[in-house]
């Protein structure tokens, strides 16, 4: 099933640039389902194996590292 959508010219240009040989639907689907590493880690939380305090500790360490090297 197909649907027609309207997008701005700049969005169309960007989609065209990144799509290469893929269809627009495939590119949009990938963009919609793309998760950052933070989102992937947080989606793990509460499923066992990851402790809340450990996440807080890692977050603090990451912020310190970011300030030092970024």
- Residue that wins the pLDDT comparison between 56 and 50: 56
Q: Cβ neighbours of residue 50 under 8 Å, at least 6 residues apart?
A: 41, 44
Question: 13-29, pLDDT tens digit by residue?
Answer: 999 998 889 999 988 88
Q: How would residue 46 be classed by pLDDT, with cut points 50, 70 and 90?
A: low
pLDDT tens for 3-15 read: 899 999 999 999 9
Structure-token match 């939380």, residue found: 45
Note if the pTM is more than 0.95: no
């Amino acid at each position: 099933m197909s649907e027609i959508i309207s997008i701005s010219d700049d969005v169309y240009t960007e989609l065209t640039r990144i799509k290469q040989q893929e269809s627009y639907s495939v590119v949009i689907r990938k963009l919609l389902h793309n998760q950052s590493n933070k989102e992937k880690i947080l989606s793990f939380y509460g499923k066992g194996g990851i402790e809340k305090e450990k996440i807080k500790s890692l977050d603090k360490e990451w912020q310190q590292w970011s300030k030092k090297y970024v």
